Structure 1
Amino acid sequence: MRAPLSLLMPRIGPGLPWALAVLLALLCALQTVRLAQLQASHARQALAQARQAQQTTETAAAARLRHAAAQQENTHDYTRKLATLEAGRTADAARIAGLQHHIRAAATRSAQLAGDAAACRDLADRHRRLAALAGEGAGVVGELVGLVERRDAQVAALKGQVQVDRQLLATD
């Protein structure tokens, strides 16, 4: 029995199998080129996506750095404001103590100047009560002023933090 190709050979001629082999090789080469072009296209797309992701990451990192710097500055401003308020509170306390001393001294002098013993006692008692009330009132006022100033500083710090957070949210 003869091989099937050899049966066809006498009819189609001796050069046709070589031509088919060359055509098949050309088709394989063309397919290889197409595959290489497709792989190159995918590589370019992957590179573009990687660059875009890197740019997005860098933009987000820059926004976070600006947010952190603004937050740190806000905290620093708040700390300085508290130190200033504490210094003012200390100065106020010294002035209040001086005022209380002067009131007590005035009450003592007024009591000493009064000629009548009963009037002196009554006047001295009134001056002592007045001095005590004035001292207490001055102390309460000083504490309230300090409390209001601290609250103002906290509100300012929180306002600054809200602005910093809004800036961060606006960039995201």
Structure 2
Amino acid sequence: MKTAAIALAAGIALGGSGAWWVQSLRAGAAIALRNDQQSKQALTQAQQAQQATENKAAGRLQHAAAQQDNTHAYTQEIQRLEAGRAADAARIASLQHHLRTTATQHAQAASDAAACRDLADQHQRLAALAVQGAGVVGELGDLVARRDAQVALLRGQIATDRKLLEQSQ
């Protein structure tokens, strides 16, 4: 009987130790599975972050290229306007010269009578006003063209910035 009790106690001890060993293996497998899942999740997050960074970089490159194109177009437009302004200045100078010549000729023709003198004086005043007006018109035309170019540049910049904002969202 003592032998049976010892055998029974030994069997219970061995059975308990085997169960503990199986539990230990199961816990180790669960930890390994959890670590594997966490590693996969971390890899997925890293890949998503990299993709987002690449998308942002591509958007910023497009924005920079659009800004450069916009600035180049503005520079070209300003150069074209400057050339036009120079040509307008030459035409205005020629017109002023012709007006002065005409005013001088009319003043000489009106030398014999008072009515002719009054008419010549009025003509000279009108010619001087026309010369001033031509200069003002030329300057205003140049100013309007510059403002139009600035507005076009700003519109292009706004469109470029809107694209960047849309891509960032």
- TM-score in terms of structure 2 length: 0.85
Q: What letter corresponds to residue 16 of structure 2 in structure 1?
A: L
From 119, 122, 136, the counterpart of 1:140: 136
Greater shift in the superposed pair: 69-78 or 22-31: 22-31
Q: What letter corresponds to residue 33 of structure 2 in structure 1?
A: Q
Q: Name stretches of at least 5 consecutive residues in structure 2 with no aligned partner.
A: none
1:54-93 equivalences under 5 Å are 54-93=50-89
Deviation (angstroms), 1:169: 2.0
Q: Name stretches of at least 5 consecutive residues in structure 1 with no aligned partner.
A: 1-8
C-alpha distance in 1, partners of 2:136/2:92?
10
Deviation (angstroms), 1:34: 1.2
C-alpha distance in 1, partners of 2:11/2:111?
151
Quick one: percent identity of the two aligned structures? 55
Greater shift in the superposed pair: 133-142 or 52-61: 52-61
- TM-score in terms of structure 1 length: 0.84
Aligned to 1:52: 48
Q: What letter corresponds to residue 97 of structure 2 in structure 1?
A: H
Aligned to 1:154: 150
Q: What letter corresponds to residue 130 of structure 1 in structure 2?
A: L
C-alpha distance in 2, partners of 1:91/1:115?
37
CA RMSD of aligned residues (A): 2.2
Deviation (angstroms), 1:111: 2.9
